[in-house]
Structure 1
């Protein structure tokens, strides 16, 4: 029977083989017992699986994300994941991008199970690690697990978007929860030349950013073509969804506007275009291939005001038809984004970067920070 140490050693070897794990982090992964932080998890059928069986222990040390907490979804009678242990190869990549030295102070946003905090403590010492999560139950469970292996980092319960001002400045900030933009508080709490590693995402796509504080009120960095797909930074501990409220789903289909377009249907299948689109048009909900009136097409909606677009592809030689409505003109924004992407010769994600300011503004640039495009 394999011990957890054998499993951890094999996981470390696998991550090294994949090129995900930097040499300076190998000892942390080999020495940190993930099963202590993931004593159980949920399988694809929402059955709880314990790490105390040989199969469960092997699963905990596989290179997979594991759902560790669920809640009832307010929009239907099914379970919604509210915490997980991230795929180890993604954790390793993010820790590598963090580029720490041995005395660096780090803020982790999204304590979750506490496993990532344990890796940070092993490398940096627990006095240099601060972690925050909005879920008090998760924080207290993580605190007990960390103490059980001899680590006592500074753990806080609160809104991760607000950071932990009393422990600032931080040399590094790493977010293990998804955000649509870099929160201003993180910029204010970052030391000069400090680095933020975060998953910038919407409902359409996701990519990591590595941003450096290059001025008193701003950070600047390029996107990496590494999808995070982290659970959202939540607004409330007692609500499983991102904004802490049930989603609006009432659409006004009266008096729609009509258009035709040369935009091909397969543009919506491109991760690169989807990522640019959600930067250009914040608040887009998931893309659906089911039109409200039936038939083949694409249905787009805005989460904040239920503006909507129905896109129906044309035949081989014809233009696509578009119907749209709601409080704002959503389709012209979508088509303008596609026209730009086409003019730029369909650039990939890593050609884009972002400058974020502590007053909430942001600029998206292509190739160089003086070439601001959004």
Structure 2
């Protein structure tokens, strides 16, 4: 297949002519790392196989989009056409522009030793190898199949980084000048700072949010940095083939049941999960919330659920004040409204742009002005 023109177009799309990332993006055959992928449609997750339609394969692989490769424990490579898995995505080939931005946040130097956390399809690892040289790149993932398959696909294009099957939240192998994670963590694992060399730089996201954290290691073993103004959404780290069960029954109850506390909210219904700054601030305040949202003939409904059993639902026509049902020890919609009130009063939310201190044991503290939070 003539993929090189597609890769060159992708490079033009996701970076600029003077960037050091033009060569890596234009040179790596992304389609070889994603021969099969999942697409979410009206009937749920359905399988796409590149071999069935080469034109679609190239158009999809060289588009700037994330391609889901695993849903729950089922990888697309192992699926049949009639499989429709249920669950959360567990692996993907991240959209190339985001990979480039994460590596740019790392401020890579020519001699830097890089730890790539979250091998996934191996495409991001390939970009890093092309930029630095494969002997300077180590990549880790918790899933043995992902690691083994990425190794085979990297070797096929003559790249041989150090690939390790490992739970990223534990002790890490080696010492690194840069750690770039394409998975979300909360808090930053203590092993990451232990593996980061003095003056080394960490780039990661806070699990459950769109917040990118960059921090540099200090002589005392801590790391100091900030929440970038940029945004990213990554899957959380996991410890096995799938994530543990979430409070889906509570989320279902939130959509249907009456609350023990029924009020009228001051602000219109919002699809919280798609309001990235709002969702990030809410998750910093109350971690672990699941979201739902629907529109039907102008009626807008949003619902929230927390693992402790608390839930909330807000319903309104258009931008009218919503009827809010809440139940449990937390008033989730009240917390959301407090955040929205802060936003209106101050013109922004404090979490983005906040300073970051990560202590050697992994405690992560955020601060901006008088606002403080600890993960």
2:365 pairs, out of 338, 363, 367, with 363
Shift in alpha-carbon separation, 1:263–1:147, aligned structure 2, 3 A = same
Mapped partners of 1:48, 1:282: distance in 2: 34
Residues 107-162 of structure 1, C-alpha deviations (whole Å, 9 max, x = no match):
11111111111111122222221111111011001111122222222211121222
Question: Aligned pair 1:189/2:192, yes or no?
Answer: no
Q: Is the 8 A contact 1:199 1:209 kept in 2?
A: yes
Match of 2:204 in 1: 198
Equivalents in 2 of 1:57, 1:296: separation in Å?
Answer: 38
- Paired with 2:179 and 2:315, the residues of 1 have a C-alpha distance of 43
Q: State the distance in 2 between where 1:4 and 1:135 align.
A: 29
On the 8 A contact 1:187/1:217 being kept in 2, the answer is yes
Corresponding residue of 2:59: 58
CA RMSD of aligned residues (A): 3.3
Q: Deviations over 1:140-190 (max 9, x none)?
A: 0111112222222221112122252x31x2111111123344223212222
| Matched residue SS, 2:281 | helix
Equivalent residue in structure 1 for 2:346, among 323, 326, 344: 344
Distance in 2 between residues matched to 1:29 and 1:186, nearest whole Å: 27
What is the SS of the residue equivalent to 2:115? Answer: strand
How far apart in 2 are the matches of 1:66 and 1:15? 16
Equivalenced residues, count: 352
Q: Deviations over 1:203-256 (max 9, x none)?
A: xx523222222453432333334432222222212x2x3xx2354524697982
**Native 8 Å contact 1:249 1:306 kept in 2:** no
Contact 1:22-1:96 at 8 Å conserved across structures: no
Contact 1:280 1:337 in 2 (8 A): no
2:123 maps to which of 115, 126, 139: 115
Distance 2:287 2:66 in 1: 27
Say which SS state the counterpart of residue 102 (structure 1) adopts. Answer: coil
* Matched ranges for 1:1-374 at <5 A: 3-17=2-16, 23-44=19-40, 46-50=46-50, 53-71=54-72, 78-80=85-87, 81-162=89-170, 164=172, 166-167=173-174, 169-202=175-208, 205-214=209-218, 216-237=220-241, 239=242, 241=243, 244-247=244-247, 249-250=249-250, 256-257=260-261, 262-266=266-270, 268=272, 270-289=275-294, 297-302=301-306, 304-312=307-315, 322-328=324-330, 330=332, 333-347=335-349, 350-366=352-368, 371-374=370-373
Contact 2:15 2:21 survives alignment (8 Å): no
Deviations 1:329-349 (A, max 9, x none): 545544443444344333476
> What secondary structure, in the 3-state scheme, does the structure 2 residue paired with 1:160 have?
coil
Distance 1:109 1:163, change over 3 A: farther
CA distance in 2, matches of 1:224, 1:32: 28
Contact 2:211 2:231 in 1 (8 A): yes
For structure 1, the residue ranges without an aligned partner over 5 or more in a row are: none
